[in-house]
Amino acid sequence: MSIKWKYFIVLLAFSLAPFLAGMLVLSDATKDMVSAAGAKVEGNLTAIVSEELLRSALTSAQAVRDQSSALEMALQAVAVETQRLLAEPAPPETARVYYSWDYADNKTAPPDLQADGKYQRPRDDGGYEAIPVSFRYPVFLLAPDADLSSSYVEGDIQRLARLTPLFRKIFERVKPFADRIHVTLYTGVTVIYPGSSGYPRRQDARRTAWYGKSLGAKPEPDWANTEPMVSTSTGNILFSLTMPLLDAKGRPVGVAAVDAPVTMFLQDNRLSLQWSDAMHSFLVRPEPKDGAMGLRLFAQKGYAQEVQAIIQGKKETLDWLDTPGDEASEAPFEAMIEDLAQGKSGTVFASYEGKPAIWAYTGLRDGYGFLVMAPRDVALAVPDHVRRVVQELATRQIYIMLVAVALIALAVGLVAFWSARAGSRFIFELSEAWRRLAQGDFSARVDLRMGDERDLLVKSFNETVPKLKEGVEMRKSLELAEEVQKSLLPSHIPRLKGFEVAGESRYCDQTGGDYFDVYKEDENGSSKLSIIVGDVTGHGVAAALLMASVRAMFRALATRSGPLGQRVCAVNKLLSRDVQESGNFVTLFYLEIQDGGGRIGWVRAGHDPAILYDPGAGEFSELSGRGLVLGAFEDAEFEESQGTLSNPGQILLIGTDGIWEAHNEAGEMFGKQRLRDIVQRLAHDRPEAIKGAILEAVRKFRGPLRQEDDITLVVIKKL
């Protein structure tokens, strides 16, 4: 090697040394920046994951509430029909009845008996097998003291056999989240639908804890008296929604019930699809334990053996959800218990079985709470992956920069110029695209091919813009839907001589399922005022569309002569055909006021009774009446009730359950007593003032909590 090349190499080494030293220093600083950026990305994504987990818990809890409401309406329909049949004379023995011993023999079993995957019984080897089920016939059970030769027992069997068509219709709508429907009478007769084998030959349901508790309860659907139990025929873990049955004198004669599988409350399938099978959901209730508050465990994935042990007497009580056991998790876990006791929602970080986890929680009802637990390594898999990718990309960029500097030092400055120009172009074009997007130009795109990781940024930008456009358009559509729905509500309430009316609807979302309508009809020189208040299941866009359909149907029948009951029947037939597949329904109160003597007629279709106050007598009463919800059964009948509003100063209130079921931070409900106190105090004011005072009282009672249900109130006053 010549001396010239030796000097050149030495000179090159001295020249490159400062560059290499500077790049090493830059490398360390860049790594620190990358680590800080990765931690910030992880923190932001962790917050997003926590919010999404809470949203999943709230969505699942709302699904439980909606399904519970559907089961409550189904149970009310069964109870009303059972009480009607029990009040009638015993029919002749015409219906074919299958007892538990008939199901045990293929020769005497119902002809449609076949295995159904939903109903399974545990095997000795730990597995499960499908059991035969009949959806055409129920199964009848007789207590040991029930004598088939007794006219009372035989009469009750024939009466309950007439419930079979109603059982079929109701079960078609609630089958996805119901296990069975059953009625037990004090005579020892029990009917269960759908029918299946596996029941003891002489089973006395009257000796169960749920029967005794429900028999003395209020005549309304109630979850509060139930504990998890194991089905004697299938071994499934169930919760029972019960309602006492009363005779004509108001005495309890039995209990009607709908059993729901614990999976309805856990929503495991929904959560697994959204997240992972590693998720856990729990049904709990805050209760005192060892001088403090703990979480009593009612249901979780794989809890069947625990409940079966209690039923078999091997355990005394349900388990408690264990505290994390580490000092850092104790405070968040106690805060979660306190929030659940107040019916609040939120997220905390606390260990589960010794592993870090994220908890999302929300209150349900009757003191119960719904928990969703995600192990940190599952919930934060995406944030961790993003952090690693960012660090890997940054490290790779550092090495590329080192090589680039060496090549630039060895080659020519042209490469540096070209690289700087290419990098600047990428930054400038991407910044320009973001600027256009910020100004509302959704046609902005980046058309660059850099051949490295920057192409991922280009691809992400180009894919994000259309989604942002869709979100903006969806928001505009919801705003338009909100304006349209508000336009459907009465902007001006017509006047009827001798009466004054005020009404208002407030939705918890942009659109809702509550509605009211007031219109006046003149016929043969006299006038009448029709007032309708309705409540569609759920809320939001779907409920708003159904509400608009119901309003249009009643408006179309406004000029049709005939009793109110016929009008409601006509709307029910049309509505049932539209919603029979969806399982949605509408509760309704339809009031008609005649001018002159103050005669009124009304139809109550599954809605809460109207509240009537007479300030002269200082007494409250209700406008009741019989009628199922609209849309449940096409052939349902609706009765018109009649009365008068003849005393000056009488006040009539028609509202939706969003008023009295509003909760405050302590978990208390507003209730109807507070409503009556306001009416009694403001009885001499105008309806508009009474309405405004009630709605403002509900808002103050709710405090900082979000409005969870639509609210509608109509106030009518006799002048």
- C-alpha Rg value of the chain to the nearest Å: 34
- Cα–Cα distance, 630 to 580 (Å, whole number): 11
Q: Which residue has the higher pLDDT, 294 or 316?
A: 294
Task: Centre a 10 Å sphere on the Cβ of residue 443 and count the other Cβ atoms it contains.
Answer: 8
Confidence bin at 165 (pLDDT 50/70/90): very high
Residue 577 sits in the same domain as residue 662: yes
Q: What CATH number corresponds to the domain at position 313?
A: 3.30.450
In this predicted model, what pLDDT tens digit does every residue of 24-83 receive, in sequence order?
Answer: 655 566 566 656 666 666 677 677 777 877 887 787 778 788 888 888 999 999 999 999
The reported pLDDT for the residue numbered 15 is 54
Residue 346's region, left for phi above 0, alpha for psi from -120 to 50, else beta, is left
Residue 577 covered by a domain: yes
Please say if the pLDDT value at position 663 is more than 90.
Answer: yes
Residue 18 covered by a domain: no
Is the same domain home to 244 and 290? Answer: no
Q: Which pLDDT belongs to residue 419?
A: 52
Locate 463 and state its tokens. 């894919």
* Structural domain includes residue 437: no
Write down the residue that tokens 């069964």 correspond to. 78
Establish if 407 belongs to a structural domain. no
Q: Out of 92-101, 394-403, 529-538, which region has the weakest mean confidence (pLDDT)?
A: 394-403
**Which pLDDT score is estimated for 417?**
44
Name, of 69-78, 244-253, 446-455, 679-688, the range with top average pLDDT: 679-688
Q: Enumerate helices (H) and strands (E) in the chain, giving the number of each.
A: 17, 24
Q: How many domains does the chain have?
A: 3
Lowest-pLDDT range of 381-390, 541-550, 665-674: 381-390
Q: Does the residue 15 lie in any domain?
A: no
Q: What is the pLDDT of residue 482?
A: 59
DSSP letter at 126? S
Verify that 300 and 344 share a domain, yes or no: yes
Task: Report the pLDDT averaged over residues 560-564.
Answer: 77
| pLDDT at residue 24 in the model | 60
Q: With 50 as the cut, is the pLDDT of residue 7 above it?
A: no
Return the higher-pLDDT residue of 673 and 363: 673
35 within some domain: no
Looking at the structure, tell me whether residues 273 and 250 fall in a common domain.
no
- What whole-number percentage of the chain has pLDDT above 90? 30
Tell me the CATH number at 253: 3.30.450.20
Query: Is residue 602 a part of any domain in this protein?
Result: yes
- Tell me what pLDDT residue 588 has: 93
Range of the structural domain that residue 598 is part of: 489-718
> Could you identify the residue written with the tokens 């309704």?
588
Residues 250 and 332 in one domain: no
Q: DSSP code of 314?
A: S
Distance in angstroms (rounded) separating the CA atoms of residues 141 and 531: 47
Q: Are residues 243 and 282 in the same domain?
A: no
Assess whether pLDDT exceeds 70 at residue 433: yes
Long-range contacts of 521-529 (CB under 8 A, 24+ apart): 521/558, 521/559, 526/594, 526/595, 526/596, 527/496, 527/497, 527/594, 527/595, 528/496, 528/592, 528/593, 528/594, 528/595, 529/494, 529/496, 529/499, 529/501, 529/592, 529/593, 529/595
What average pLDDT does the structure give for the chain? 81
CA distance 625 to 612: 14
What's the rounded Cα separation, in Å, for the pair 510 and 540? 7
Q: What is residue 679's three-state secondary structure? A: helix
Over range 454-482, report the average pLDDT: 69
Mean pLDDT of 546-560: 82
- In whole angstroms, give the CA distance from residue 402 to residue 453: 17
Q: How confident is the model at residue 280 (pLDDT cuts 50, 70, 90)?
A: confident
Tokens of 25: 């220093």
Q: What mean pLDDT comes out for the span 10-14?
A: 55
Same domain, 283 and 301: yes
275 and 214 belong to one structural domain: no
Q: What is the model's pLDDT at position 649?
A: 94
Q: Does residue 383 have a cis bond before it (omega within 30 degrees)?
A: no
From residue 710, alpha-carbon distances to 275, 489, 508, 531, 629 in Å are 31, 14, 5, 18, 18
Query: Is 7 part of any domain?
Result: no
Q: Between 255 and 626, whose confidence is greater?
A: 255
Average pLDDT for residues 162-185, to the nearest whole number? 91
Lowest mean pLDDT among 135-139, 558-562, 686-690, 695-699: 558-562
Listed residues 261, 279, 305: the one ending a domain: 261
Same domain, 625 and 661: yes
Rounded to an integer, the average pLDDT of 420-439 is: 72
